Every structure is written in structure tokens, then in C-alpha cells.
Structure 1
Amino acid sequence: MALDLYAGIPVSDYAAALEWYERLLGSPPTFVASDTEAVWELAEHRSVFIERCPEHAGHAMHTIFVDDFDGLLARIAERGLGPVKRETYSNGVRKAVYRDPEGNEIGFGGAPL
């Protein structure tokens, strides 16, 4: 089964969110769909997007699993962002949670050490 993921993050302040997500994800958007929507392709057929949608802002919760968990967190820290919470689950899986200025939660997960 082919699978595409297009995960949305509603925001009220599009300009501020655009700057924050560029810092978190380390690049400008892959493309700008409209003057209120920007898209980052994280891997082939797997994208996240921000969209100005004030009535839903602050309620997104996404977790993205990565191969180089520690390296990614270090690169994000170099861009001036730190996680609001770090967890290690009983099976050793690690998670770092970031919250954008509107409260949307973006977590990164990584395999046990």
C-alpha cells in the first residue's frame, strides 16, 4: 500500500509560525502553497504544513521519528530552540517535545541508545 502523509499545524500568526518552523526544521519551506500555507517535505511523500487557521491554532500534536535523534536535537539547539520536555520510555525509546508559540506540540522520537 502506498502511503502519503500530509500533517497540518494550524496557526493564527502565520509570519511568526513560519519563522519558528524554519528554525525548528532547519530550512525554509519546501514550497509555499498559498499566502497562508507553507509545506516542508520531511521525506518522500511525508510532509508537515502550517496553515493560518486561528480557530484551531494551538491544538496540533505530531511526533516524528528520526534515525539521528541526538544529532537532530543538537542542530535544533544551534538554531536557538530547546525541547520543553524530554522523556525516555520503559522500552528505551526517547522523545523530545517542542512547542511553538501557539502551543502546537512537535515531538521527535528516537530509538534506544
Structure 2
Amino acid sequence: MTMDLFAGIAVSDLSRAAAWFERLLGDVESFDPNDVERVWTVTEHGHLYAVVAPEDAGHGRVTLFLDDLDGFLSAAADRGVEPQSQETYDNGVRKVVFRDPDGNEIGVGGGPD
């Protein structure tokens, strides 16, 4: 059975959120299924989407786990997006946290160096 995952983040302004997520995610496939959502395909069966829902904006949490965290961080920095915080767990797994314009937490993790 194939399953696709759509992880949603509530935002107050779709244009502002789309611009920020595009700087964070870089050149990934995206589409607009309707007037209040933007979807980014971040892996073959995994999608992150922003949806206009001002009453819920700023309360979301999503974590992406990558095989090249350093490469992602470098590319994001080149596009003007820097993490709010970084930590390394006892097992060597690293996590950085970005905050979108509404304050939603976008965590990005990677395995030990």
C-alpha cells in the first residue's frame, strides 16, 4: 500500500508564508490546489502545505529529517533563512528550529556527523 503524507501548517497570509517556505525549502515542486493553500512536495510521498487559517496560525510544529542537514542549512542560509536554535542530542542526532513569519516551528533534523 502506498501512502502520501500531507503535513499542514496554518498561516495568516499565504503570500508571505509561501515566499518564506520557498526560501527555506529551495527548489522543490509546489502547487496551489485552491486559493487558500500552497503545497510543497518535500519527498516522493511527503508534502508540506500552508493553509490560510488565521485563528490557528503560529501553533504548528513540523519536523523534517534529512540525510544532509549541513547541506540544507548552507542552502537555506544562502537564501536568507537562518535557524532560531540548534541542538545536538546525546545520540548525536541534530535538530535546528526555524520559525515562519507566524511563529510556526519548522524543525529540521539530521543524523550524527
- Give the TM-score range, shorter chain: over 0.9
CA deviations 1:51-100 (Å, max 9, x no partner) are 10111100110110001010000000000010000000010000110000
Q: How does 1:12-91 map to 2 (within 5 A)?
A: 12-27=12-27, 30-91=30-91
Percentage of identical aligned residues: 52
Cα distance, 1:28 vs structure 2? 6.5
Unmatched segments (≥5 aa) in structure 2: none
Distance 2:111 2:24 in 1: 20
Q: CA RMSD in A?
A: 1.2
Task: Compute the TM-score of the two structures, normalised by the length of structure 2.
Answer: 0.95
| Residues 62 and 78 of structure 1: CA distance in aligned 2, closer, same or farther (over 3 Å) | same
Distance 2:47 2:101 in 1: 21
Q: Do 2:39 and 2:48's aligned partners in 1 also have CA atoms closer than 8 Å?
A: yes
Task: Compute the TM-score of the two structures, normalised by the length of structure 1.
Answer: 0.95
